[in-house]
Structure 1
Amino acid sequence: MQEGIEIFGRTILAFAALLLIARILGKQTISNMTFHDFATGITMGAVAANLAFNEKIQAWYFILSLAVFTLTSYIMSVVALKFPNTRKWVSGGPTVIIEKGKILEDNMRKLHYTLDSLNQSLREKDVFNIEEVDYAILETNGKLSVKKKDKYLALIKKDLNLVHSGTTSFPIEVIMDGKMMKENLLENNLSEQWLMNQIDQKGKKLSDIFYGVKTTNGNLVFDYYKDNLQHPIDKE
């Protein structure tokens, strides 16, 4: 029983330590898994796992190890920020895979990057024909950035000389799971009475609405609990 309580406490401690470390190192460590971030994440995960379950070693040893790794990772990030020349050693650098429509086989060999991986990454960018690609660069986090040839680029409003009317903003959630998001309304200068009037105009009640959001173009969109779908799709 005592061992179980100790493991429970150490597990909570390990979880809290990893959350604190993630906050210290910042969002970039989570979003951009570079060489440096990968090594840091794997090592800290292993140390945290041992902190949770390895009773043979005192917990504070693992805490010390995590603190040292956090400090080391933070210092390396600061060094890379202040001295750009060190970044390729700390985080690696991007590699050109396709240049002017031509695949650079030597670069792919250096990275052990196969054609299957290239084609998969291109499909994830909605590119199914390699002839559409002008440049493709493998970033330090392993993701492929693609620039299409001019004739395959999608049209945008600027190309058609269309003038954008109105303003856009972040979407504002006003109702969630049948409950009014009063804090969101207050922060965006929206009144509860205004929202209730909008609901009344739809012939609905607050309890009928599962989700409500004011979209980026200012429209108010509701999703109801009862969607009146005759044959809803149910996929497991």
Structure 2
Amino acid sequence: MPEHYEVIIRSIIAFSLLLIGSRILGKQTISQMTIFDFIASISMGAIAANLAFNTSVKIHHIILAYSIFVIISLFTAFISMKSRKARKFFAGDPTIVIQNGMILESNMRKMRYTLDYLNQQLREKDVFNMEEVLYAIIETNGTLTVLKKSPYRYATRQDLMLHETSQEKLPIELIMDGEMVSQNLEQNNISQDWLEMQLNKRKVNVSEVMYAVMAANGNLYIDKYKDNITSPIDKE
């Protein structure tokens, strides 16, 4: 087999392995990761890359190595679910870097966390004055969680002693890409006849609709393929 054909086939296999591995391991692999998740993901990516272009290594050896990493990741995830000590070992502990408006320098040094980066993370949380912070904690996935002092927190309905309103529902997607989303219609007891009647009122067919969604307040939003906008503000 010509070498370039082999690279093409191996690349397809490598992509398939990454896709299958990600599906098996779940959404954790693409969300904010812990140190262990990061190591596992990088290692599996490197193995898949070698499968794609390193023709000197046998395919079944790389697939075996990749499978071992997936199994190890699943095993550690299972252990972490069962044991708090295991979770602490694999993910570590959150670290407090600000307490009652005061920076904990020793914890900052242990984390090798600079003041510049801390200020950047605080600004992303809409905090420009450290004196407003009661606690700032670096989570195990590297993100910064901030709890402001009570005078600087946003008021809630409970704080204002307002009556609780009924729980709002999520928007329901009814049409996508010119086709009705039958599953959403069935789950929410919405008939196709009702939806077609609403479309007829607007003199539009299902095939002309790019997107239709029922908002939490019951209003129906419809976006057609033809927007009839002659001069768009920003055209790519």
Could you say what secondary structure the match of 2:157 adopts? Answer: coil
| Residue number in structure 2 paired with 1:160 | 160
Corresponding residue number in structure 2 for 1:42: 42
The residue type equivalent to 2:171 in the other structure is P
Which residue does 2:144 correspond to in 1?
144
Cα deviation 1:50-88 (Å, max 9, x = unaligned): 011110010111011111112222222222222212322
Does 35-44 or 10-19 show the bigger shift? 10-19
Q: Counterpart of 1:179? A: 179
Shift of 1:231: 5.9
Q: Does the C-alpha gap of structure 1 residues 217 and 122 become closer, same or farther in structure 2, counting only changes over 3 Å?
A: farther
Q: Which residue of 1 aligns with 2:60?
A: 60
Q: TM-score, normalised by structure 1?
A: 0.89
1:13-52 paired onto structure 2 within 5 Å:
13-52=13-52
Structure 2: gaps spanning 5 or more residues: none
Residue 83 (structure 2) aligns with: 83
Task: Assess if the C-alpha contact under 8 Å between 2:51 and 2:62 holds in 1.
Answer: yes
Q: How large is the Cα RMSD of the aligned pairs? A: 2.2
Output the amino acid matched with 1:150: S
The 3 A distance-change label for structure 1 pair 34 and 220 is same
- 2: CA distance between counterparts of 1:219 and 1:45? 45
Query: Matches of 1:153 and 1:140 in 2, distance apart?
Result: 24
Q: Give the secondary-structure state (helix, strand or coil) at the position aligned to 2:55.
A: coil
TM-fit CA distance, 1:158: 2.2
Q: What is the TM-score of this pair, normalised by structure 2? A: 0.89
Pick closer, same or farther for the CA change 1:231–1:102 going to 2, 3 Å: farther
Equivalent-residue separation in structure 2 for 1:212 and 1:129 (angstroms): 44
Change (3 A) 1:166 1:86: closer
The equivalences for 1:68-107 within 5 A come to 68-107=68-107
For residue 178 of structure 2, what is the amino acid of its counterpart?
G
SS at match of 2:221: strand
For the 8 Å contact 1:138–1:144, the answer to whether it is kept is yes
**SS of alignment partner, residue 136 of structure 1:** strand
Structure 1 residues 37 and 235: alpha-carbon distance in aligned structure 2, compared to 1, 3 A threshold: farther
Distance 2:231 2:164 in 1: 39
Q: Which moved more, 1:226-235 or 1:92-101?
A: 226-235
CA contact (8 A) 1:133 1:147 kept: yes
Cα distance, 1:23–1:147 mapped onto 2, change above 3 Å: same
Contact 1:167–1:217 under 8 Å retained in 2: no
- Structure 1: stretches of 5+ with no match in the other structure: none
| Distance of 2:228 and 2:157 partners within structure 1 | 36
Cα distance change of structure 1 residues 83 and 128 upon mapping to structure 2, 3 Å threshold: same
| Structure 2 SS opposite 1:31 | coil
Q: Describe the superposition over 1:96-123 as per-residue Cα deviations: whole angstroms up to 9, x where unpaired.
A: 1111111111111111111121122122
Secondary structure of 1:33's partner?
coil
CA distance in 1, matches of 2:205, 2:50: 53
Q: Which moved more, 1:119-128 or 1:100-109?
A: 119-128
Distance change (3 Å), C-alpha of 1:78 and 1:179 = closer
